[in-house]
Amino acid sequence: MQVYKWQLPSILSITHRATGVFLAAASLLLCFWTLAVAAGPENYQLLLDHLGSWYGKLLLLGTCFSLYYHLGNGVRHLFWDVGMGLDLPRAYLSGYLVIAFAFILTAGTCLAGWLQ
């Protein structure tokens, strides 16, 4: 691994898989939220307290970024499946666009949540 030169497409591929695994694990958060709502206001408030803490906000931020990144890179792969954008310059451009898409939408979502 020390002689291997990392390239953007390989990094984005590994990150796509990692965000997919993270989203699968984070789907448990949705289950906890549903159970907390069903269990009553005390349990729901306890979940909100945890989600409002620094580690809860970090979890929500990571989930939000993973969702947008995985979505953008999935669309990129759909274009590749039909043979579009496979040449190296377009592959790099689309990779940078996916990264920008994920960061911009994550920041926008965080800003919208903060303004509420």
- Rounded to two decimals, the pTM is 0.89
Q: What is the pLDDT of residues 49-83, one digit of tens each?
A: 999 999 999 999 999 999 999 999 999 999 999 99
Helix axes 41-51, 8-39, angle to 10 degrees: 150
On whether the CB atoms of residues 76 and 100 are closer than 8 A, the answer is: no
Query: Average pLDDT, stretch 35-58?
Result: 95
pLDDT at 115 over 90: no
Instruction: State residue 14's pLDDT score.
Output: 95
Instruction: State residue 13's pLDDT score.
Output: 93
State how far the Cα of 108 lies from the Cα of 53, in Å rounded to an integer: 20
The CATH number that domain 8-115 falls under is: 1.20.1300.10
